[in-house]
Structure 1
């Protein structure tokens, strides 16, 4: 298997990437099928309203997965991502039919040898500046590996 060439080792504070994705109801339903999480707050406006939510919500792990995909795209190889974590800070409301735009950006928080700690920011621009993931970081090993 040929591995992608890793990006250059950045300096602390460098902006590494910024990417956007669209989440609509079709993506929520596909994720529910893949994950087995069929909670109706992820597809039914009526149920979401009945339980006091502002609308249908994206699955937290779907949001986290979008952040992880952005990191692996930047790293060039998923095997280079050795750690990723976050806390769910705000819900991602997915209106129908327009859906929502999710923006994921990363900057170098720490660099030690070939390991980069990436500070992640994940937002939905229409919902204000508050990130939807808090304390979101990933550790990426940019040194050549034989994994």
Structure 2
């Protein structure tokens, strides 16, 4: 079963709020010059923030369900422009249900490129 794609917009203000909440103040998430100096194309979103948005989509698809596991690999950065924002799309497909557990395979993209590798959630409804 294919789940309705969720789209999230990430802005630089979101990155500042996430840094404050998480304690991750690495300047590659705030400072264009620092990000470029280490070879990045610009300021990038925190990988864990991108992962959290994917988890939020799972929560939207399965309200009230317990997330038993959630995992992924960080494969490509999400570059966030100084003005406006960038969209991250989270698509999901139910791959099976067994013993009350539902496995959901995700596809998380930004500008058509996968940004999380092998994202998968298991929920108990």
TM-score if structure 2 supplies the norm length?
0.95
**What is the CA–CA distance in structure 2 between the aligned matches of 1:86 and 1:131, rounded to whole Å?**
12
**Partners in 2 of 1:47 and 1:89 — Cα distance?**
20
> Secondary structure at the residue paired with 1:28?
helix
Q: Matched residue of 2:107: which SS?
A: strand
User: Gaps spanning 5+ residues in structure 1: where?
Assistant: 1-13, 143-147
Deviation of 1:57 after TM superposition, in Å, equals 0.5
Please give the alpha-carbon distance, in whole angstroms, between the structure 1 residues aligned to 2:72 and 2:11: 22
Kindly name which structure, 1 or 2, has the bigger radius of gyration based on alpha carbons.
1
Report the alpha carbon displacement of residue 113 of structure 1 after superposing the two structures with TM.
3.7
1:98 aligned to which of 75, 78, 84: 84
Distance 2:23 2:123 in 1: 29
Name the residue aligned to 2:4: 17
Structure 1 position 93, deviation (Å): 0.5
Tell me the CA shift for residue 112 of structure 1. 1.3
Instruction: Report what 2:25 is aligned to.
Output: 38
Q: Distance in 2 between matches of 1:49 and 1:113?
A: 48
Aligned residues: 125
More strand as a share of residues: 2
1:66 deviation in Å?
Answer: 0.2
Residue equivalent to 1:135: 118
